[in-house]
Structure 1
Amino acid sequence: MTAPVWAELVGQDDVVATLGSAVAGQMTHAWLFTGPPGSGRSNAAMAFAAALQCENGGCGTCRSCVTAAAGSHPDIAVINTDGLSIGVDAARDAVRRAALHPSQGRYQILVVEDADRLTDQAANALLKAIEEPAPGTVWLLCAPAVEDVIMTIRSRCRPVLLRTPPASAIARLLHERDGIELEVARRAAAAAQGHIGRARGLARDPEARRRRAEILSLPVGLRGLGDCFRAAQRIDQEANARAKERCDVLDARELSNLQESWGVEERGRRPAGYAGALSSLTKEQERRRKRMARDAIDGVLLDLLSFQRDVLTLQLGTGAEAINADVADDIATMAARTTPEGTLASIDAIVACRDALQANAAPQLALEHMMSRFLG
């Protein structure tokens, strides 16, 4: 019987078996969890951390498991970022933490959730600590692919490859564990294309499902360049609005914490050094907002990619099940209006847009170019 801490790892039986064996005794000091977005890299790493600290291999109910799940275990540290990269200061803090003896647990565990976002300086700062860890220290790194982590670090880690979980398994999880209506769970799981967190968000939020359906209807409404520019502007503006909504609360909390740590009152004098600290915080918050907006745009592009995939499968008569069954009429309209060659060109345009955004292109310009290519 599988230990309860692994319950969220959907469709990852081989991974659970490997990690379970390590908990039982076949332990390595550094691990690299890789897999596509939504496959559960961070969940796997955190479940592994909980199981390593648990006296019963991950019972899910003891104090150690409960605090690990809540993110408050004193001997499990998580290094991540809401910005574009993890800098050298965060890496050095992690190295200092790694040198400590466990205070309550069996190990001192450091989980680097975005190892692919380590700057070169940050990666080099971690290298020595990973290469020659302190006794009882375990490093758990997460990245989309092994190649996303520098060679000197990845060569010292044991790889754990997670796969995209099947939609049926995600739907079952949402239905049985979250109590979501089965048909809603199935459609959300299909739309999320293996991303468990996104599937859960869609299943729980009717407004998110409505927004997604509106985005998928955009290609059908394109008649000229004006429509393309308006569609691109809408995607960009909505992404920035969602990023702002998520960041405003975080920004205010961080500013309050900074002021408190420096003893700054609203109208009082600012101590020496505060201006520099405030400037650093403001820059990091702007990087986070930019990353969240780009992540939101990338989510839209993946949705449009799935829509064009459905159009192409209908045009080719493959009989494959549609990812976006809730917009079947729009899929049929596009399939009748365009040719398979045109649909493939649209798919290429979406892929090119994603590549351009990865290369730091201006989002609205990249989106406008993509939309204009939808016209053929």
Structure 2
Amino acid sequence: MSVWESLVGQEQAVQVLREAAERPAAMTHAWLITGPPGSGRSVAARAFAAALQAGADACAHEDSARTALAGTHPDVTVLATEKVVITVAEARELVSLAQRAPSQGRWRVIIVEDADRMGEQTGNVLLKAIEEPPPRTVWVLCAPSPQDVLVTIRSRCRLVNLRVPPPQAVADLLVRRDGVDPDLALACAHEAQSHVGVARRLATHAPAREFRRTVLQIASGIRGVGDAVLAAGRLVDSATEQSKEATTERDEREKAELLRSLGAEGSGPVPLALRPQLRQMEEEQKRRARRALLDVLDRALVDLLSFYRDVLVVQVGSDVALVNASSGEAVQQVARASTPEVTLRRMDAIGLARTRISANAAPLLAIEAMAVALRPQAEAHAH
């Protein structure tokens, strides 16, 4: 299996990256990989790192390629923050690391998976290192679009754009890699709008599919303000449970490992001298938990947005395939009960909720305001 195997539907990008890995003498030392969520930005970055270490057409099971893909290669560093922003301290660590020659591999590769979470001060810390890296250091930054990265950074990078992969290509990957039933794989690929990670979770995790169904029911289940408030509360509660499921086990494992490394295992109280380290780790975990909740909520709003997209498709008589074919009856019902103008206003309300949440508004308040705007009576107040 090639190192590029998991990067589906990105033939043009693969060609650019493969050719670069084949010509080390002409290597560009700073790259910016952009594309919509789920297009495979981090997959492309890791595959490129594997190709740089093991060869452009290396097998993914070859040792240096396998460890590069996993992010465990000694000369491949991956910064994949689960916090809201990348800190200046994290950037300084990367700059220091970039100055070292590779210890085992051909290149020192530094991947920043969420370059869009760098503020101006953080970006300025990286600027000099990206502009003038050592001869065998390669920076690979990932972001949704070039505009999400500071202009001073992106102007010094070679740009590789990824596209939304076809649903069938995503489904084929799920069947081949995860053994998913072909029909389920294709349905999940459509519902995930070709987001590979979301499609995989939907296909392999029944509670995720149930959560998504609950989200879509909001569209047809709100009749008044009371329904809206209740629906918002249920959504935030369910999203909190989903995010906890993804972080709790990891948090407990990290705490146990820290206490073991400090020689403080057991059920007794943590020694006073060790408590600052424990508090620091707990603060990091809280920030990560909040990031996980915001990500789950944002994905839920994207799913809800896809429902109203389908409603609009029906209302304007388009022959475009529905994202939520399994909810076709509910889509038709909502389409008959409203107009395209109302649907667009509802989509705007969802977009506003996403913006508010990303700007650090209280999630419950943002979702409640959105849910109230989705109720049928809201269209009368809009005139």
**TM-score under structure 1 normalisation?**
0.94
In terms of mean alpha carbon deviation, does 220-229 or 44-53 score higher?
Answer: 220-229
- Pairing 1:147-162 to 2, within 5 Å after superposition: 147-162=147-162
Residues 51-79 of structure 1: CA deviation (Å, up to 9, x unaligned): 00014642323221122233321111111
Residues 19-39 of structure 1: CA deviation (Å, up to 9, x unaligned): 011011141111111111100
In terms of mean alpha carbon deviation, does 28-37 or 112-121 score higher?
Answer: 112-121
Name the residue aligned to 2:16. Answer: 18
Task: Note the C-alpha offset of 1:255.
Answer: 2.2
Provide the rounded CA distance (Å) in 2 between the counterparts of 1:257 and 1:128: 36
Q: Amino acid of the residue matched to residue 12 of structure 1?
A: Q
Provide the rounded CA distance (Å) in 1 between the counterparts of 2:334 and 2:280: 48
Name the residue aligned to 2:90. Answer: 90
Pair 1:115 & 2:115 matched = yes
Kept after mapping to 2: 8 A contact 1:42/1:113: yes
Instruction: Name the CA shift for 1:205/1:134 in 2 (closer, same or farther; >3 Å).
Output: same
Task: Note the C-alpha offset of 1:287.
Answer: 1.1
In terms of mean alpha carbon deviation, does 146-155 or 366-375 score higher?
Answer: 146-155
Provide the rounded CA distance (Å) in 1 between the counterparts of 2:122 and 2:278: 22
Provide the rounded CA distance (Å) in 2 between the counterparts of 1:227 and 1:373: 12
In terms of mean alpha carbon deviation, does 260-269 or 117-126 score higher?
Answer: 260-269
Residues 106-148 of structure 1: CA deviation (Å, up to 9, x unaligned): 0011111111112433322222221221221111111111122
Give unpaired runs (5+ residues) of structure 2: 379-383
- Pairing 1:173-192 to 2, within 5 Å after superposition: 173-192=173-192
Provide the rounded CA distance (Å) in 2 between the counterparts of 1:256 and 1:99: 34
Structure 2 counterpart SS, 1:255: helix
Structure 1 counterpart SS, 2:234: helix
Q: Amino acid of the residue matched to residue 39 of structure 1?
A: S
Name the residue aligned to 1:6. Answer: 4
Kept after mapping to 2: 8 A contact 1:35/1:162: yes
Overall identity of the aligned pairs, in %: 47
Task: Note the C-alpha offset of 1:297.
Answer: 0.6
Task: Note the C-alpha offset of 1:256.
Answer: 2.7
Provide the rounded CA distance (Å) in 1 between the counterparts of 2:46 and 2:89: 23
- Pairing 1:93-242 to 2, within 5 Å after superposition: 93-242=93-242
In terms of mean alpha carbon deviation, does 11-20 or 96-105 score higher?
Answer: 96-105
Structure 1 counterpart SS, 2:3: helix
Provide the rounded CA distance (Å) in 2 between the counterparts of 1:371 and 1:308: 13
Task: Note the C-alpha offset of 1:328.
Answer: 1.1
Residues 338-372 of structure 1: CA deviation (Å, up to 9, x unaligned): 12221111111111111111111111111111111
User: What CA RMSD, in Å, does the superposition of the two structures yield over aligned residues?
Assistant: 1.8
Provide the rounded CA distance (Å) in 2 between the counterparts of 1:341 and 1:358: 26
Name the residue aligned to 1:270. Answer: 271
Instruction: Name the CA shift for 1:178/1:156 in 2 (closer, same or farther; >3 Å).
Output: same
Task: Note the C-alpha offset of 1:309.
Answer: 0.8
Instruction: Name the CA shift for 1:264/1:88 in 2 (closer, same or farther; >3 Å).
Output: farther
In terms of mean alpha carbon deviation, does 94-103 or 174-183 score higher?
Answer: 174-183
Kept after mapping to 1: 8 A contact 2:50/2:69: yes
Provide the rounded CA distance (Å) in 2 between the counterparts of 1:152 and 1:324: 41
Q: Amino acid of the residue matched to residue 228 of structure 1?
A: A
Provide the rounded CA distance (Å) in 1 between the counterparts of 2:260 and 2:128: 35
Instruction: Name the CA shift for 1:104/1:308 in 2 (closer, same or farther; >3 Å).
Output: same
Kept after mapping to 2: 8 A contact 1:262/1:271: no
- Pairing 1:32-47 to 2, within 5 Å after superposition: 32-47=32-47
